[in-house]
Amino acid sequence: MRGMILGYVVILALTPCAARGETGWVVDTLDAAVHVRGLSLAIDSMDGLHVSYSDRASHAIVYGTFRSGVWTTETLPDTGSWNSIAVTRTGEPSVAFTRDGRAWFAWREGDLWMTEVIDSVLDACCGAIPLALDPEGSPHVCFWGGGLYDYYAEKTGSAWSVEMINVGGGAEDWAWVEIGSDGEPRVVYPEYSHYFEYSRLVFGAREESLWQRETGDSTNWWHWTPVLALDGSDLPHIAYGRYYLMGDEEFHACYMTKTAEGSWVHETIESVTRDYEMGWNNFIDVSDIGVDDGGNPHILYRKHIDSTGVNTDTLFHAWKQGAVWCKERVAGAITRRASLALDSQGGVHVLYGGPSPQYGLYLARRCESTGTGGADSPRSGVRLAIAPNPLRTGMGTISFELPVSCNPSLTIYDTRGRIAAERCVGLRSAGLHTLEWDGRDAQGLPVAPGVYFARLRAGEHVAVRKMLLVR
């Protein structure tokens, strides 16, 4: 199915670090009025942020980008709700979503969005529809059939293949999928005995078309909302909720990972107790997980407390520093879902929706100066400037200052993350240097007028500047 792109652009003022307060987070309001149902955040190779969300009022799926304070949106041609976004390294987006109780997939061809149903028979219950792209850009999704089955689907060429993955029992909740460096999928899903003899969390890795499954958490608790990330060695990092029905209900935000030696390590990040006699209604939801370049996990979870009759929701970011978990508040009132992305500098970005009656869609980012407590993040030791800007017909000068001798590279992207021009600068000494760009691509053809981003990478240092090309 084809549809027109309907879009708008909003330029947002970026809040300085000093204005953030003790939590160390800047929050940008992307849309103050939208009533968000499902949302997802992804990041491309030039640290451009890509968003998908569903508008509960219009039942529309919206795709948005956030670059250098510019928020741009497009509406997909079909209505939908729960959704997940993934992008290629060059920033080409895809979205998986539910519509009329089925799982759907949307992708971009030129300036148009294409949509198709993944399976016209199988139910896709409300909840996350995790989406991952392999190195060839082919989509892989998981969806929950609602109470009984989790499904994994893969598109090869123009056809989808779908299979049930929880072969050992019923499905408690959705499954999550990621793609390893070998191009093969990894999944995690909760599973229970149909006679409630056990409940467990299962990790699966596909090898040569066969699934190799193992139990990651065998404690006989109820597991739900698992999320999965892979580190640079393809080791799984999993965050999930767990609760135990025995008198008072104990809710836990949990983390587990598999070591290089093959053993599973389990940790509890935070716990709350629900006591019906006291009238409490407390619980924890795990929202997302990411792994930075140092192999350190970053987890989002929501803690809901109702000990005084007044509901309070707090969104937390937890990360590991050595053997210690560090936790900080991101926002004080959110919807159920939140999503996380880590950029090339180690920066943490969080997307979340506001609760009734304010609603709204918000993007929070952590101040670099506060650090994340994990591996040292590369600092921007590169200074980059462009003159004139706007760049008119003829040569423009790109100036950059290097902290050390290195082989920097310059890449110019358009607003969709596509490479417009690329230069290998060659060995340069520390200090100030200049390059010229005449507004042409690698074939010597003039690029279209518009907004572009110049990105200079010098070793671990990266600097990005926005430019406007006019003719």
* Secondary structure, 3-state, 322-349: CCEEEEEEEECCCCCCEEEEECCCCCEE
Work out the average pLDDT over 301-329: 83
Say yes or no to pLDDT of 308 above 80: no
- How would residue 377 be classed by pLDDT, with cut points 50, 70 and 90? very low
Say yes or no to pLDDT of 309 above 70: no
- Both tokens of 407, joined, read 């082989």
Of 94, 338, 96, 100, nearest to 225 (Cα)?
Answer: 338
Q: 74 and 62 in contact (C-beta within 8 Å)?
A: yes
pLDDT in tens, 170-216: 777 889 999 999 999 999 999 887 666 678 899 999 998 899 999 99
357/198 Cα distance (integer angstroms): 41
Q: 102 and 123 in contact (C-beta within 8 Å)?
A: yes
Range with the poorest average pLDDT among 139-148, 253-262, 350-359, 362-371: 362-371
State the sign of the Cα–Cα–Cα–Cα dihedral 202, 83, 12, 91: positive
pLDDT at 185: 97
Say yes or no to pLDDT of 12 above 50: no
pLDDT at 379: 40
Kindly state the helix (H) or strand (E) to which residue 312 belongs, with its residue range.
Answer: strand 312-321
Which of 94 and 344 is assigned the larger pLDDT?
A: 94
Range with the poorest average pLDDT among 37-51, 326-340, 349-363: 326-340
- Hey, what amino acid is at 364? A
Residues ≥6 apart with Cβ < 8 Å to 208: none
- Hey, what amino acid is at 118? I
pLDDT in tens, 417-454: 778 888 878 888 888 888 888 888 878 888 888 888 88
pLDDT at 372: 35
- Both tokens of 162, joined, read 């779908």
Q: 340 and 290 in contact (C-beta within 8 Å)?
A: yes
- How would residue 10 be classed by pLDDT, with cut points 50, 70 and 90? very low
212/217 Cα distance (integer angstroms): 16
Q: 348 and 366 in contact (C-beta within 8 Å)?
A: yes
283/250 Cα distance (integer angstroms): 8
173/143 Cα distance (integer angstroms): 9
pLDDT at 344: 79
| 400-410 residues labelled b (16+ CB within 10 A) or e (exposed) | bbbeeebebeb
Of 42, 12, 8, nearest to 27 (Cα)?
Answer: 12
State the pairing for strand pair 131-133/139-144: antiparallel
Phi, psi of 277, rounded to the nearest 5 degrees: -65, -30
Work out the average pLDDT over 372-380: 36
pLDDT at 422: 86
pLDDT at 275: 63
- How would residue 409 be classed by pLDDT, with cut points 50, 70 and 90? confident
pLDDT at 229: 97
Work out the average pLDDT over 116-139: 90
CA distances from 156 to 139, 160, 169 (A): 8, 6, 28
Q: 188 and 216 in contact (C-beta within 8 Å)?
A: yes
Task: Assign 19 to helix, strand or coil.
Answer: helix
Most confident of 26-30, 46-50, 133-137, 421-425: 133-137
Say yes or no to pLDDT of 140 above 90: yes
Residues ≥6 apart with Cβ < 8 Å to 395: 436, 437, 438
- How would residue 8 be classed by pLDDT, with cut points 50, 70 and 90? very low
370/378 Cα distance (integer angstroms): 13
Work out the average pLDDT over 374-397: 65
Say yes or no to pLDDT of 368 above 60: no
Work out the average pLDDT over 272-288: 76
Q: How far is CA 122 from the centre of its chain?
A: 26
Work out the average pLDDT over 355-365: 87
pLDDT at 54: 92
The pTM assigned to this predicted structure is 0.77
